[in-house]
Amino acid sequence: MHSTTPAEQALFPPTLPKAAKRRSSLALRLTVQLALAALLMVGIAGVVLNLALINSLGHEQDQFLNNKLRILQKQLAAQPRVLDDLKAEVEEDFTPHQFAQVYARVMDNRQHVLAESPTMSALLPASAFPAAVDVSSTPLLGIDYRTPEGRQFRWIAGRTGASERDGVIQVALDNTRGGEMLDRYRGQLAAMVGAAALASILLGFLISRRALEPLRTISATVARIQPTTLGQRIDLHGLTSELYEVAGRLNGMLDRLEQSFSRLTQFSVDLAHELRTPLNNLLGLMETSLQSDRPPAEYRETLASALEESVRLHRIIDGLLFIARSDDPRTQIRRETIDVSVELRRLTEMYQILAADREVHLVLECPADLCADLDKTLLQRAVDNLVANAMAHTPTGGSVTIHAACDSESLEVEVRDTGCGISAEALPRVFDRLYRGEQRAPVEDRGLGLGLSIVRGIMSLHGGSVDLRSKPGEGTSVSLKFPRRFPSAIVQEPRS
């Protein structure tokens, strides 16, 4: 049964944190937002319709009142001295609408009432009307009026002629039932808005649940992924463009996690294997030495073998610690302006004896006074690892070339050999820690599988890159590309 480590538990928590559970539901928030948006739209539509209805009724009533006023004006102009017909016209219950009652009053220029609708003086006193104006050109706009008893009227007042000394005509329309109709309309509108709000909440909830269903599917898929089931992926079929991009990025992250876990598992196996051999050798040496008394020479030989295994363990641990530090973005290096040509010449001279012993031609191609801002120790270590690998895999009569060149932006150091090369299957893994692939070098030259991983870490610390090209039977070329100048705005602390 697989037991998860603390690191795996951090990457794959069994449940959400309590703080996340206390957060409001996205579906609820979307429902509320959709409901508020729908309510706002329905409310605005209701207000607009209410205002449009009021304006339409007011315009229609004003048109009727103006027409009534003009009829009285014409009748006065045609028969100024005959009042019987005028009184009949004024006192008639004129009802243009089912719910409206019309009142009219005609007065001379001395405010004496010539004709008046019944009960008008009690309901609508002449002094309450606005001042009369000429209506020969522009229609008058009605004014709403509410009596103390609650009855509603709309009225206008105009002169009987064009002169200010002419008489006054006051016309009013009883709008009480129309107001009651508007009140009922507003009540129905409010009920409709409330029903729309409830419907929008329900529809918003259904829409949000449907819209968030792919997210729940993605969440359920991610929740099922554990260290033992990293091969599962989110189904991208039927997702919208936005969710498709998010799910695709999650699948890419899962691909990288699966690869990292696979490499970590393989690295753990390789590390256990690498450490087990020298530890077993040390244990065997100690057990053999303790079984019986031996001559001092045998003890010295045992101690020498134990020292050799201890050095091997130290190299493994030192290399792994360096790689771990190079992976940390906070690690700083000590940069200084160095003459790269001098350092490469020293390294070449150091390997000339080994090259001559193995009959390998070692060549340095580097112009003089080649300077760059680098960590000298790390440059030496990186090139040393590459030259050591090249020498170990180059047969007698072959050649190893160290080539260096630069431009205004970068420095390139390349190590080429004419050795056995690397197979296409092993090429993607050559930078993996403790990976050694096919060991064709002599036993004494076989490394620990950390050299190229250390080189990649050194290039990462310098902000550079490493490129490896190889063909089986033709040799290998490894190119290191360093930034030649380091930004002066960034301070480099000495590396401990």
pLDDT in tens, 31-56: 777 778 877 888 888 888 888 888 88
102 three-class SS: strand
Backbone angles phi, psi at 107, to 5 degrees: -130, 150
Residues in the chain: 496
- Which has the higher per-residue pLDDT, 196 or 271? 196
In the 8-state DSSP scheme, what is residue 13? -
Asked if the model's pLDDT at residue 372 lies above 50, the reply is yes
Give the per-residue pLDDT at 21.
47
What is the pTM for the complete model shown? 0.48
pLDDT of residue 190 exceeding 50, the answer is yes
Integer Cα distance of 315 and 249 in angstroms: 39
Which residues, in sequence order, are bridge partners of residue 211?
A: none
Stretch among 23-32, 308-317, 400-409 having the lowest mean pLDDT: 23-32
DSSP code of residue 133: B
Q: Can you tell me the distance from the alpha carbon of 22 to that of 1, in angstroms, rounded to the nearest whole number? A: 34
Residue 495 pLDDT more than 60? no
Return the DSSP state at 399: E
The confidence score (pLDDT) of residue 323 equals 66
- Tokens 């315009």 sit at which residue? 59
Amino acid, res. 43 = G
Please state, as a whole number, how many other Cβ atoms lie within 10 Å of the Cβ of residue 338: 17
Mean pLDDT across the stretch 231-237? Answer: 83
Which domains, ranges and CATH numbers included, belong to the chain?
44-183 (3.30.450), 241-327 (1.10.287.130), 336-483 (3.30.565.10)
Binned at pLDDT 50, 70 and 90, residue 415 comes out as very high
Q: Note the pLDDT tens digit of each residue in 95-115.
A: 454 456 888 888 877 778 887
pLDDT given for residue 488 in this prediction = 43
Mean pLDDT of the 382-404 span: 89
Residues 6+ apart with CB under 8 A from 228: 2
Give the residue, 480 or 263, on which the prediction is more confident: 480
Q: Indicate the average pLDDT of the chain.
A: 77
pLDDT confidence band for 490 (50 / 70 / 90):
very low
Q: In what order do the strands lie in the sheet with 475-483?
A: 361-365, 399-406, 410-417, 475-483, 465-471
Angle at the Cα of 467 from the Cα atoms of 461 and 472, rounded to 5 degrees? 140
CA dihedral of residues 106, 112, 115, 120 (deg, nearest 10)? 80
Tokens of 132: 């009369």
Task: Return the closest-CA partner of residue 117 out of 170, 176, 161, 179.
Answer: 170
Longest pairwise C-alpha distance within the chain: 160
d(CA 367, CA 362): 16
Q: Are strands 475-483 and 465-471 parallel, antiparallel or unpaired?
A: antiparallel
Low-confidence winner among 29-38, 279-288, 426-435 (lowest mean pLDDT): 426-435
Going by C-beta distance under 8 Å and a sequence separation of 6 or more, which residues neighbour residue 79?
85, 86
Nearest to 175 by CA among 139, 145, 132, 141: 145
Tens-digit pLDDT profile for residues 342-364: 989 999 998 898 888 888 999 99
Look at residues 178, 117, 181, 118 and name the one whose alpha carbon lies nearest to residue 153.
Answer: 178
pLDDT at 8 over 80: no
Task: Pick the most confident of 14-23, 90-99, 219-228.
Answer: 219-228
108 Rama sector, left if φ>0, alpha if ψ -120 to 50, beta otherwise: beta
Give the lowest-confidence range in 107-116, 158-167, 308-317, 346-355.
158-167
Nearest CA among 378, 382, 409, 385 for reference residue 492? 378
**Taking CA 20 as the corner, what is the angle to CA 16 and CA 22, rounded to the nearest 5 degrees?**
120
Q: Which two tokens stand for residue 74?
A: 């014409």
Checking phi first, is residue 135 left (phi over 0); if not, alpha (psi -120 to 50) or beta? alpha
pLDDT value at residue 496: 34
Residue-level pLDDT at 172: 84
Q: Which residue reads 């019309």 in tokens?
A: 102
Q: What is the pLDDT of residue 400?
A: 92
Distance CA(99)–CA(391), nearest Å, equals 112
- Which has the minimum average pLDDT: 254-258, 277-281, 337-341, 418-422? 277-281
Please provide the DSSP assignment of 156-203 as one string. Answer: EEEESSSSTTS-EEEEEEE-HHHHHHHHHHHHHHHHHHHHHHHHHHHH
